[in-house]
């Protein structure tokens, strides 16, 4: 009987551990959205706090901070009716100012979850040729335009092999993105 109780405890513990992680909720002045943590990744809350982010996703196999990561954020400073290209160009200009003569590739990609809060306009920008002293191989920023803000989902890595291998997880995060509301007060009261 006792071994059956121990077996039951082990099975339920293993099953509880295997349950998918809850989606992460992010909110700001004009946005509430969720993303999911891909398998093999974790939310590094301690380093997210240091970086000033609500969360920071990192691969579980990685030992050092700031090697490969994903995060998402909303830009509430974007005025209504601001063109997505204007926001993207501001990001590119900031990157060039910070990192110098980098290679930039722009393109519209696969995500188009239009709802009453989103415009359906999205853009992916990849930054490469970043000087080694900055500790990055490549960084991709996915811009999603809402009516009152813009959300970015960022994927960065120091390693070409990790970047190439883990890009599919970045796509999973993008595809898990769900814009809940442009009015956090209405959602957070519940």
| CATH architecture, range 23-188 | 3-Layer(aba) Sandwich (3.40)
Question: What does the pLDDT profile of the chain (190 residues) look like in tens digits?
Answer: 433 333 233 233 333 333 457 889 888 888 888 999 999 999 998 988 998 888 899 998 765 555 889 999 887 677 766 788 888 888 889 888 888 877 777 765 545 555 777 877 888 888 887 777 777 788 899 988 888 888 999 999 888 888 888 999 999 999 899 888 888 888 776 5
Residue with tokens 């901070």: 65
Task: Report the predicted TM-score, pTM, of the whole model to 2 decimal places.
Answer: 0.80
Task: Give the pLDDT confidence score for residue 59 in this predicted structure.
Answer: 92
Task: Give the pLDDT confidence score for residue 42 in this predicted structure.
Answer: 93
Structural domain spans, the chain? 23-188
Residue with tokens 């109780």: 5
């Amino acid at each position: 009987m006792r071994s059956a109780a121990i077996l039951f405890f082990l099975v339920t513990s293993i099953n509880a551990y295997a349950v998918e992680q809850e989606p992460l909720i992010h909110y700001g002045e004009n946005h509430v959205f969720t993303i999911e943590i891909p398998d093999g990744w974790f939310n590094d809350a301690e380093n997210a706090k240091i970086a000033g982010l609500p969360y920071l996703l990192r691969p579980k196999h990685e030992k050092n901070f700031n090697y490969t990561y994903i995060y998402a954020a909303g830009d509430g400073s974007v005025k209504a009716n601001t063109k997505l290209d204007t926001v993207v160009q501001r990001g590119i200009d900031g990157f060039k100012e910070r990192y110098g003569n980098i290679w930039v590739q722009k393109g519209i990609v696969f995500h188009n979850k239009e709802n009453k809060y989103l415009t359906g306009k999205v853009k992916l920008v990849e930054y490469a040729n970043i000087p080694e002293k900055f500790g990055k191989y490549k960084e991709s920023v996915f811009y999603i335009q809402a009516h009152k803000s813009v959300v970015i989902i960022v994927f960065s890595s120091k390693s070409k092999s990790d970047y190439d291998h883990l890009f599919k997880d970045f796509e999973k995060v993008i595809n898990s993105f769900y814009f809940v509301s442009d009015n956090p007060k209405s959602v957070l009261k519940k």
